[in-house]
Structures are given as C-alpha cells and as structure tokens.
C-alpha cells in the first residue's frame, strides 16, 4: 500500500517563511528553499515503490502477529536516494544517530503494543524502515507511505530531526492512520490525519515521562528547535494546549469558527487537537489510560474512512467512550463537551 500522502513534519508555509527571512544567512535561506522545493519532488517519488517498501510488502499478512517488527536504518548519505545504504547498528559508537533512532523506534513500537495492543503500524508486525541523513541540511521528516525519511536540519533553526521523539511518533502515526482509517490529506480528513499524528506524539511523551495530563506541556516539536529559533522567541512548532500561542512557529485555530478554508491540514489540525486536549484535561489522570484509548479505538475501528469529517470522528469517540467506560458516564460526557467546545458538534 503506497499512499500519496503529504505527511511532512514541517509544513511548507513555515519553510517558505524562513526561506525569505533576511535575518538568516544566505546558506540557511537556501536550505529552507531547497527543503520547500523538495516537497514537490518527494510527492512524486512516493509513487515508486522503494526497496524498503518491497521488503515490507513481502511479509505475508497474518504471518505472526507476535513477531517483533524488524527495525532497519538506512543512510541516504546526503542524497535523495531511498532507502540508501543499510547501517549495521551493532556498534553504537560507529553510528550514534542510527543507534539512537533504533532505540527510539523500539520504544514507540512498545508504546503502541503495550497501550493499544497494536503490533507495528499495520498491526501485523510490519518492519519499520528509516532513512537518515537525507538531503543536505534537509529541514524536515516525512512518512512516504512505506518508510520514514529524516533530515539533519540546518543546525540553527532546526536541529537533527532524528533525535526528536515528537518527529518519529508523528511520522509513524501517519503510518498507523494509513492502515486504519486511511484518511485523506486535504480538508477535514487531512486535518484530522495531522491532528492524530500530533496527539499520539504528545501522548507518547507523556507515557515515556510518566506525566499526567496536567503536568504535560502539550507542545509538538520543541526538541527539534535550534538556538536561532529559540532566540527568536519560539519554543515549539505547534501547541495542543494553546493553539494560537505566539511562541509556536505555527499559530493554529482552536475552534471551527476559525477554520481556514485554504489552510494547510497542519493548520486546521488545531481544532480536533484542541478537543483532545480539553477532553484529556477534563478526564484528568494519565492521558494514555482513558482519552488516548478512546481516540485510538475510534481510529482503529476496522473500517477505512478516507473522507471522515470532524463530526463523524467526534461521534465515533463519544460512542467508543460510552462503550469503554460504561460505568463512568462522566468520561463520554467530557468527550462530548470537548467537541462541543471547539464547535465541531
């Protein structure tokens, strides 16, 4: 299954902004121009099946659901070749980036397995293939329908994308969405697609740090911002708790009245993400114990719904909340209130 997704972590609008920012050096501006232009290239590149995808597809469905997914890391060696050369990670000192990313992917797969009983992105033990050192100062990361592709960043605005859990969970969750709802990439389904990736990214960090919803910072991309971005006053790429925060690189709507009809799906993702945040805060405790389970259950309902609207997803979460928490009516009520608050229902 090769999807025509636009699953990059940093949307073109942010890349374009830095590409013309005269306070940055020419080299830096060029890196952003190259990354933005590259987006059109990889959209067509995705249509050809990479060796990694062929390997993944060769695995028979239902082969062994308990099998540990294979994690392979490749080196693109600053080219746009995919997947690139396989890196053996036996010696962590030889290739620190590959070793770290391998460990982080293992931890993310464990999160999906232990909390949601999901075995890899396809729930069938699919191998996870990742190409690192992609392009030159490439300021992005993406899921191309069959593997992750990770850039090194420019080092000033964005640091190495390989070292950010937020990036990895966001991109792998695009894979999970691909194999569950199969959401599209524009309009409400597209915004929902981006929102799910941000939500599970935030929940993963909370789970890893054993942080309650109240203690979490609810930001996305804070760990990939470099010193220059921080000097400009930015602390993250997106915020789920404060969609319009001036310290986020992207200011998002948090209510349907602010839906941007021409907006990139990353922008409009602020609306369903705000509903999730409000539900998590109202229900309280650990987000992964209840509210994330409800969202996952609505997502992995066994049916592909590429055109799913916000309201349809909201309705699915309320139904699933009632089914999962039959003895606690406050939970589905909180979910319903949160969708109402953002104007979706």
| Residues contributing to the site for Zn ion (CB under 5 A) | 7, 194, 197
CA-to-CA dists, residue 252 to 13, 39, 182, 246, 288, angstroms: 13, 22, 24, 10, 24
Q: Which is nearer to Zn ion, 122 or 194 (CB)?
A: 194
Based on CB atoms, which residue is closest to Zn ion, 87 or 172?
172
Nearest approach in angstroms of CB 93 to Zn ion is: 33
Minimum Å distance from CB 194 to Zn ion? 5
The answer to whether residue 171 is catalytic is yes
State yes or no: cis peptide before 83, omega within 30 of 0: yes
Tokens at 114, concatenated:
């232990």
Show Cβ contacts of residue 77 under 8 Å, excluding neighbours closer than 6 positions: 84, 85, 133
List the catalytic residue out of 38, 133, 174, 266. 266
CB nearer to Zn ion: give 190 or 254.
190
CB under 8 Å, gap of 24 or more: what pairs does 145-148 form? 145/1, 145/2, 145/3, 145/4, 145/5, 145/46, 145/53, 145/178, 146/1, 146/2, 146/49, 146/50, 146/52, 146/53, 146/56, 146/57, 147/50, 147/52, 147/53, 147/56, 147/82, 147/83, 148/172
Question: Of the residues 171, 188, 242, 336, which is catalytic?
Answer: 171
Work out how close the CB of 318 gets to Zn ion at its nearest, in angstroms, rounded to a whole number: 25
Q: How far is the CB of 337 from Zn ion (least distance, A)?
A: 27
Cβ contact 253:239 at 8 Å: no
What is the closest distance, in whole angstroms, from the C-beta atom of residue 46 to Zn ion in the complex? 14
Would you say 45 or 337 has its CB closer to Zn ion?
A: 45
Interstrand relation of 85-86 and 141-143 (parallel, antiparallel or unpaired): unpaired
Residue (158 or 325) nearer to Zn ion, CB: 158
Contacts of 40 (CB under 8 A, 6+ apart): none
Residue 222 DSSP label: G
Positions marked active-site:
171, 266
């Amino acid at each position: 299954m090769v999807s025509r997704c636009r699953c990059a972590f940093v949307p073109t609008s942010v890349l374009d902004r830095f590409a013309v920012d005269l306070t940055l050096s020419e080299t830096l501006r060029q890196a952003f121009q190259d990354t933005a232009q590259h987006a059109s290239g990889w959209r067509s590149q995705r249509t050809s099946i990479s060796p990694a995808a062929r390997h993944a597809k060769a695995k028979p469905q239902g082969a062994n659901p308990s099998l540990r997914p294979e994690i392979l890391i490749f080196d693109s060696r600053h080219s746009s070749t995919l997947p690139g050369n396989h890196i053996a990670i036996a010696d962590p000192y030889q290739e620190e980036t590959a070793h770290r990313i391998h460990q982080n992917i293992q931890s993310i797969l464990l999160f999906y397995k232990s909390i949601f009983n999901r075995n890899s992105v396809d729930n069938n033990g699919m191998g996870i293939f990742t190409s690192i050192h992609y392009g030159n100062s490439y300021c992005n990361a993406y899921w191309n329908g069959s593997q992750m592709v990770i850039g090194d960043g420019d080092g000033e605005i964005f640091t190495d994308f390989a070292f950010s859990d937020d990036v990895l969970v966001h991109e792998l969750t695009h894979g999970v969405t691909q194999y569950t709802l199969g959401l599209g990439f524009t309009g409400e389904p597209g915004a929902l697609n981006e929102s799910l990736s941000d939500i599970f990214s935030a929940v993963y960090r909370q789970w890893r740090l054993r942080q309650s919803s109240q203690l979490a910072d609810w930001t996305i991309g804070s760990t990939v911002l470099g010193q220059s971005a921080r000097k400009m006053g930015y602390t993250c790429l997106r915020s789920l708790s404060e969609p319009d925060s001036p310290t986020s690189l992207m200011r998002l709507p948090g209510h349907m009245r602010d839906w941007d009809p021409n907006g990139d799906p990353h922008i409009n993702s602020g609306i369903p993400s705000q509903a999730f945040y409000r539900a998590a805060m109202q229900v309280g405790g650990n987000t992964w114990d209840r509210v994330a389970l409800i969202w996952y259950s609505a997502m992995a309902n066994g049916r592909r719904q590429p055109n799913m609207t916000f309201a349809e997803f909201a309705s699915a979460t309320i139904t699933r909340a009632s089914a999962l928490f039959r003895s606690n009516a406050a939970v589905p009520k909180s979910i319903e209130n949160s969708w109402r608050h953002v104007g979706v229902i």
